[in-house]
């Protein structure tokens, strides 16, 4: 096994060295497209009549503008931090009226809080951008891009873009385990439900490929049973909710296998699996090593563990967001998001498979420079 790894390691070293020697490219940063749920929504739901919104304080308390932007965070979220690594400004929400002209070249964020893999996930939020619509908007975006930049540049920008997609958590907490008992939990035993949503997720990723995506980061689901909302409902002693984590333990390995299958079909590493569970679990189980003093109670909220409902102006708000892992009942603080992205950027194959984001960026830069 060690001998088999040598050529790969040598290639990776050469890629990184070549990228380091390359001139600080005068070309614009690569475009970035984002799909998925509230973990990556930059404000699309602000433009919708829905209860799944984060457009009022204290959301955004640590954002550069100190204003609520629609991000479910005290500050920056995962796409924002990835954009920093790309040397780019954050991609605007697709529904933003500012997304026009040269802003189209940055990319776009199509994510919508509350959505899942399945169309019936998040029905209680009523008006959200379900995945079929996110993909339809991606096609619509490309028509606008072609009109602005021309066919050739538009195709090059989309094919060369980095894509992030985050789905799955809502299909459990806002579907299968929704109280009262959901239709899906009556229809499927948990292992069968997981197989079903994986098969539906495969269709979404295949459609992304059809639409031109050629480098897609696919995040798995974090430890759902450990978020404050689930502790508030299911835990009297601070232990994570075992049933939710059992669902995640079934989902994540099947997602990785499905991604590998898609790559075999494509004949290339188009899709890269990101182990969000591991990236979160590290600091949840060893908080002191990461500078956290509280990984169970949300910084902003109410009720047990501050895990009831969303963060509002009437909520308890912690004074120091740097030492809390969770901002609200479901979502990480900016500091936790930075730790997660750090593992995506530099972590081993335990975090990113088949390669981490730093390696991807170096390889893609080298390949683009040789064209």
240: alpha, beta or left, given left = phi > 0 and alpha = psi -120 to 50? beta
CA–CA dist 275, 262 (Å, integer): 17
Q: Tell me how far apart the alpha carbons of residues 295 and 273 are, in angstroms, rounded to a whole number.
A: 25
Nearest to 194 by CA among 254, 272, 259: 254
- CA angle, 88 then 90 then 93, to 5°: 145
Yes or no: say if 195 and 251 are a contact pair by the CB < 8 Å rule. Answer: no
Cβ-contact 180, 233 below 8 angstroms: no
DSSP 89: P
**Which residues are catalytically annotated?**
38, 328, 331
- CA pseudo-torsion sign 231, 278, 321, 111: negative
Strand order across the beta sheet in which 32-36 lies: 107-109, 32-36, 162-166, 216-219, 271-274, 352-353
Strand, coil or helix: what is 360?
helix
* Token digits of residue 116: 């899942």
Q: Which residues touch 191 (CB under 8 Å, ≥6 apart)?
A: 250
CA distance 121 to 46: 19
CA distances to 209, 271, 276 from 214, in Å = 6, 8, 21
Q: Which letter does DSSP use for residue 220 in this model?
A: -
Kindly give, in sequence order, each residue whose CB lies less than 8 Å from that of residue 119, ignoring residues fewer than 6 positions away: 130, 131, 132
Task: Report the DSSP pairing between strands 300-301 and 316-317.
Answer: antiparallel
- Alpha-carbon gap, residue 221 to 95, rounded angstroms: 26
């Amino acid at each position: 096994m060690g001998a088999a790894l040598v050529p790969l390691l040598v290639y990776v070293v050469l890629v990184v060295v070549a990228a380091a020697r390359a001139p600080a490219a005068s070309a614009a940063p690569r475009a970035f497209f984002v799909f998925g749920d509230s973990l990556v929504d930059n404000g699309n739901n602000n433009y919708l009549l829905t209860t799944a919104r984060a457009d009022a304080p204290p959301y955004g308390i640590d954002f550069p503008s100190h204003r609520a932007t629609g991000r479910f965070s005290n500050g920056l979220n995962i796409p924002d931090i990835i954009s920093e690594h790309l040397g780019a400004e954050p991609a605007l929400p697709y529904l933003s009226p500012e997304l026009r002209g040269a802003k189209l070249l940055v990319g776009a964020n199509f994510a919508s809080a509350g959505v899942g893999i399945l169309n019936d996930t998040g029905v209680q939020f009523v008006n959200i951008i379900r995945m079929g619509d996110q993909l339809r908007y991606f096609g619509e975006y490309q028509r606008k891009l072609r009109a602005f930049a021309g066919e050739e540049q538009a195709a090059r920008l989309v094919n060369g873009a980095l894509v992030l997609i985050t789905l799955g958590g809502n299909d459990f907490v806002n579907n299968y385990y929704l109280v009262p008992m959901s239709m899906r939990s009556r229809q499927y035993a948990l292992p069968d439900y997981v197989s079903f949503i994986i098969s539906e997720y495969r269709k979404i990723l295949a459609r992304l490929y059809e639409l031109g995506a050629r480098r897609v980061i696919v995040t798995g689901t974090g430890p759902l049973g450990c978020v404050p909302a689930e502790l508030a409902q299911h835990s009297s002693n601070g232990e994570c909710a075992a049933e939710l984590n059992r669902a995640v333990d079934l989902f994540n390995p099947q997602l990785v296998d499905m991604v590998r299958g898609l790559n075999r079909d494509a004949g290339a590493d188009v899709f890269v699996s990101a182990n969000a569970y591991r990236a979160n679990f590290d600091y949840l189980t060893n908080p002191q090593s990461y500078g956290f003093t509280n990984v169970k109670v949300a910084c902003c909220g109410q009720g047990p563990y501050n895990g009831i409902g969303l963060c509002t102006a009437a909520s308890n708000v912690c004074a120091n967001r740097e030492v809390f892992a969770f901002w609200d009942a479901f979502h990480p603080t900016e500091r936790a998001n930075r730790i997660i992205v750090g593992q995506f950027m530099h972590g081993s194959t335990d975090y990113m498979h088949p390669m981490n984001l730093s390696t991807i960026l170096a390889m893609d830069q080298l390949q683009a420079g040789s064209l």
